[in-house]
Amino acid sequence: MVADVEVSGGHWIGGERVASAATFDDVSPIDEAVIARISRGGATEAHAAVSAAAASSPAWASTPPTERARLLHRVADIVEDRLERLAIVETIDNGALLRSHLRGVMPRVAHNFRFFADYLVNDLHHPDFETRGHHNHVSWDPSGVAVLITPWNAPLMLATWKVAPALAAGCTVVLKPAEWTPLTASLLADITKEAGIPDGVFNVVQGLGEEVGDALTGDPRVSRISFTGSVPTARLIARSAAANLTPCSFELGGKSPFIVFADADMDSAVANAVEQYDNAGQVCLAGVRLLVEDAVLDEFVERFLARAAAVRQGDPRDLATDVGPQISREHFERVDGFVRRAVTAGAEALLGGGPNEQLGGLYYRPTLLAGAAPGAEILTDEVFGPVLTVQSFSTEDEAIAMANGTEFGLAGVLFTGDRARAERVSAQLVAGTMWVNCFFVRDLRAPFGGSRHSGVGREGGTWSFDFYCDVKNTCTNVDRWTP
């Protein structure tokens, strides 16, 4: 039994905790114990949160940028002070590694706020230029109320990728965290209050997506919707947003290729390939389709299996653990269904291939499947678990065709020692992010997002900032001023 995490399960609306009569259970993936009871919001709470955000919008929009930036830095300070608490609560709630939360994820949460605070003050350029005696001035006007709908695989990290630029841009926010991981959004609400963010500027509505979603995304007072999640949900949100033509930013799934050419540094390629099991494979960016040049296929697989054998699966609170559990029973069954169907259809599990029976619960063994037939669902559909496939290719063109052969276009990972080849192949892959001889290096100045069904728009730096603003050009005939 996981200890009670003692985090409020209420909504955060207008600077106050608001409870709903109905609740749902928040279950820890570590042992499937109930750790909190969460308010189950609906249209009433959604409406109240948008009202609070709309009411506080004019004052926040006209707060000087330096003051907004100061408050966001204050949020980052408190996140840093509370890093361990945020890390352990997130681990208990979503089952991702405590080690990663402590060392990487929570420091990045603070960085998200610092980055956009600094961007607002230092990097936002207001270009002025002349056109035949007319003066053009570009300004970034806050658009109003941003609804942010976020997923469970990296809850606070992905939420703050949206919250920080939205607040920096002068929008007020309604955050709807995933129902499987509601807790750190609740902690963030307390932090914003302590930091001095005015009431109503940041709001959280808890609840099940299908019950609260429409009321948020179809509200005509909402000026922007940013969503990270699945393709079917994105379609529902787009439909709901269409009534008001509300601009949407979507960061969706992936089925990214991980290409290894024979001339690659094999140690590095193998080490990075095994890293695709991080977060128990619940990473949209993961390079899950290993495409290996046939001359090195046997060597690669042998070395991959040797390295993967050292991966330790277990309780994510143990700092020695490498791979934790799946997020929920429902998701676990879904992952297992993919693997079973693949094996029935003729694929061979070179590694794993089923639940970790020693650990029980939601622990699914890191799995490597070979021999899937071209077009098989295991090669085209997003599994979102610790399941990789391996295929071989013989020419560069074949590798490119295989890499591009899904409806997604989120990321691509490429290992080669040949610089010209790296440039040629990268240029031809459909992907929002290409990693060449590396993986997961991410700078907030870079654009992030996907093509095709992997998304609409980009996040990061100027792309996030522009999205939350109504960019305006003011063109003035300067000859017409009264002297």
Q: Which residues bind ligand ADP (CB under 6 A)?
A: 149-151, 176, 178-179, 209-210, 213, 217, 229-230, 233, 236-237
Toward ligand ADP, which CB reaches closer, 102 or 286? 286
Nearer of residues 381 and 470 to ligand ADP, judged by Cβ: 381
Amino acid, res. 39: S
Residue whose CB is less far from ligand ADP, 27 or 178:
178
Provide, rounded to whole angstroms, the least separation between the CB of residue 335 and ligand ADP.
12
Minimum Å gap between C-beta 212 and ligand ADP is 7
CB-wise, 172 or 233, nearer to ligand ADP? 233
Distance in Å, CB of 179 to ligand ADP, minimum: 5
Catalytic-residue membership of 357 = no
Among the options 45, 179, 251, 382, which is catalytic?
251
State the nearest-atom distance from the C-beta of 426 to ligand ADP, in Å: 28
CA dist., res. 155 & res. 146, Å (int): 18
Q: From the CB of 211, what's the least distance to ligand ADP, in Å?
A: 9
Structure tokens at 320: 């020695």
Q: What are phi and psi of 154, to 5 degrees?
A: -145, 70
Catalytic residue among 171, 248, 284, 469: 284
Minimum distance from residue 187 beta carbon to ligand ADP (Å): 17
- Shortest Cβ 193–ligand ADP spacing (Å): 22
Nearer to ligand ADP, 73 or 334 (CB): 334
151 vs 254, which CB is nearer to ligand ADP? 151
For residue 284, indicate whether it is catalytic. Answer: yes
d(CA 393, CA 401): 10
Nearest CB to ligand ADP, comparing residues 150 and 391: 150
Active site residues: 251, 284
